[in-house]
Amino acid sequence: MQTALHTLEASAGHGIRVVLVSYTPGGERLVAASARLSLSRKPLESLLGLPEGEVEEWIRETLVRGHFSPWEHSVYTWVAEGCTRVCTHQLVRHRIASYTQQSMRYTEGVLRGLALSAAEMAGMECPVKPGRTQEEARRAYQCYSEALRWAAESLGAEEIVGLAWPAFLVPSRPGREEAAREAVQAASRYYQLLSRGWHREDARYVLPHMVRTRIIVTMNARELVQSFFPLRLCTRAQWEIRAVAWALRGLLLRVHPRLFRYAGPRCVLLENSQRREPVTPEDIAGGRVEPGIGMCPERVPRRGIPACLLSAMRSTLPRRA
């Protein structure tokens, strides 16, 4: 697999971005050729050189027949940045994938920037970096802790949310201000523990799951179309990972539309398993195609599937202004 010439990125809202960093060149043709290879005795060169018009036909044929092993040969690497550990804990449950996540044992991640912003607002002069010696580090951590405690106790509603936002994803729900204060207070306790000589891997126990992180993921097309998208594009998915999934689908449509235009929640996967010609989520949500299944796997009846799909395409929480 070669690295893509340039990365593609999309916003998932809420301070999260999804970046496609690498993918299999000619992945669509490779899937089609692999499907053809499984059924043909023709020479390899002939199979790999199939006419452009047949690529779509073979992709659609494998989709409706549920013949997804050829899809495993097209591989995608992408990054979710600014998401929370709530999101990544769900993400890593997809087993046919490779993951590398930002370590909070070897880095403070986004927390030092939060502490320095709080120090500036408080008029405190905290070191930009903890320092080389243990004593210097402890003094810096204590300064960070005091600045964050001041912020949690002194800032107004909008100020505390604005301060917390780059380091913590604070949902736009009732009680948002209190959640932001608690997150900043937790960061203060984190640095207080570091100032007392705790290791980062132990001090991080006091941090809430809303702390932002980043993770790089490698999945093949089969895992994406048969597992990740069916579960995570659905309205039943948690809103954050659903936003990531729809942003990722948008990026994949830009590089391999013939593979991913039919990708959707489980209702779409089931629908396409029963049709001779596959349909897209947009076809159903837009009313251009009436669902043929009586009920989706999440127990939504046929008449409610288009509205449910349309809802799934939208974030359930408003983006921060």
What residues are labeled active site?
Answer: 232
Tokens 């929640």 sit on residue: 265
**Contact at 8 Å (CB) between 255 and 2?**
no
Query: Cβ(12)–Cβ(91) under 8 Å?
Result: no
Report DSSP letters for 261-295, one per residue: TT--SHHHHHHHHT-SS---HHHHHTTSS---SSB
Q: CB of 312 within 8 A of CB of 242?
A: yes
CB 62 within 8 A of CB 35: yes
Sole residue written with tokens 């195609």: 289
Question: How far apart are the C-alpha atoms of 233 and 244, rounded to whole Å?
Answer: 9
Q: How far is CA 50 from the centre of its chain?
A: 35
Distance CA 154, CA 119 (A): 12
- Are the CB atoms for 104 and 260 separated by under 8 Å? no
- What's the angle, vertex CA 214, arms to CA 120 and CA 248, rounded to 5? 125
| Alpha-carbon span 319 to 280, nearest angstrom | 26
Tell how far CA 87 is from the center of its chain.
7
Tokens of 296: 């989706």
- What's phi and psi for 102, nearest 5 deg? -60, 130
Q: Tell me the DSSP string of 157-226.
A: HHHHHHHHTTTB---SSTTHHHHHHHHHHHHHHHHHHHHTT--HHHHGGGS-TTBEEEEEEEEEHHHIII
